[in-house]
Structure 1
């Protein structure tokens, strides 16, 4: 039934591509996606631990209700990012330390939540990535409905089941697996260009945007 669907998991992204994007900053990925895709208003709550990369397992839930997330945890595979469209509601937390621990022990690589969390101290002490809008002590309802593995909207970013999701201290981006190899080439080219620019600055060779040496 629409509004209460539990669809099969999408095919996971190639492990080699996942590993390659673990060194790619979200800012550079975004630059090479026309600077358009990106979740707005989310921030990391976890202890800094590099770049989160995985395959999207998506959840859409009613405001302040996490029943569908509990059901999704029964479907999670190693390498999945649990992406939750909570409608941006921050009046109740959708996950906390217990659900973080369940996800982590089942091999998920992170949470991306368009909503609130609680037990933020536990997240802050952990290396398990969690990106969300806010923290609040109020717990969730568990009544449903909700949908699993459907297209979701997280901070204005549409994420499809199976998309590759990347998160770091700057935020979260996502893109289809079909463009990942081409995108990676563009990212590597920009990384090399920026490395040369930084080196030229250090050596006093850099010429700024107006054709004059940088001050």
Structure 2
């Protein structure tokens, strides 16, 4: 039996127009509209500044091993974002510049790795979004085990194949496709309210927040001279 060694080939992907609803929307605002529960852990950081938007193509690799990522690169479709569960290993890189260039050439939308990379300076100069937990020059093994197309955990968040993935300088967020249309509308309304607030600050120098004093009063805060 190939326990721990599986490749699922029937990956569903949401319609592209649903994915595009999130283009240009700030990850922080999306997370606010998801009850601040959907962002990957803070230590999954961008390498470079290219924004990220696509659908999750999930990969699980053994720590410090990239055999199954090599296979996944040949299976991915344009618009896919590799969501790689590398166990958060800091000791060996899972990929470097050559593999990133191959993914970009194939039309993939980005790579998010709960693990380490190398060639970080070169990757940062590319117009291709990469997120990772760490950087190390130590190269990977190619022995397995691993999985492609299953449910993974990346940065503390459970990721399903076909989830919508959005990333910017703040980090990465994962969205279930069945929630996407309603969520995108909510985020756009949230953004519009932020614009009004920032215009008020610029125009009047005010930021009304009556809830602050209400909460302090409920706490019984005493004001002392």
In the superposition, the TM-score normalised over structure 2's length comes to 0.90
Map 1:39-188 to 2 at 5 A: 39-40=40-41, 41-46=43-48, 48-49=49-50, 51-188=51-188
For 1:194 and 1:156, locate their aligned partners in 2 and report how far apart those are by CA, in whole Å.
29
Unaligned stretches of 5+ in structure 1?
none
In structure 1, the partner of 2:28 is: 27
**Do the aligned partners of 2:13 and 2:161 also contact (CA within 8 Å) in 1?**
no
Name the one with the larger strand percent: 2
**Do the aligned partners of 1:9 and 1:75 also contact (CA within 8 Å) in 2?**
no
List structure 1 segments (4+ residues) > 4 angstroms apart after TM superposition.
none
1:90-129 deviation line (CA, Å, top 9, x unaligned):
1000010011011111111100000000000111110110
Residue 12 (structure 2) pairs with residue 11 (structure 1): yes
- Root mean square deviation, CA, Å: 1.4
**Do the aligned partners of 1:87 and 1:114 also contact (CA within 8 Å) in 2?**
yes
Over alpha carbons, which structure has the higher Rg? 2
For 1:167 and 1:207, locate their aligned partners in 2 and report how far apart those are by CA, in whole Å.
29
In structure 2, the partner of 1:209 is: 209
Change (3 A) 1:167 1:7: same
Secondary structure in structure 2 of the residue aligned to 1:178: helix
Secondary structure in structure 1 of the residue aligned to 2:7: coil
Name the one with the larger helix percent: 2
In the superposition, the TM-score normalised over structure 1's length comes to 0.94
Instruction: State the shift of 1:205 in Å.
Output: 6.3
**Do the aligned partners of 1:89 and 1:115 also contact (CA within 8 Å) in 2?**
yes
Instruction: State the shift of 1:13 in Å.
Output: 2.2
Number of aligned residue pairs: give it. Answer: 210
For 1:172 and 1:139, locate their aligned partners in 2 and report how far apart those are by CA, in whole Å.
25
**Do the aligned partners of 2:83 and 2:113 also contact (CA within 8 Å) in 1?**
yes
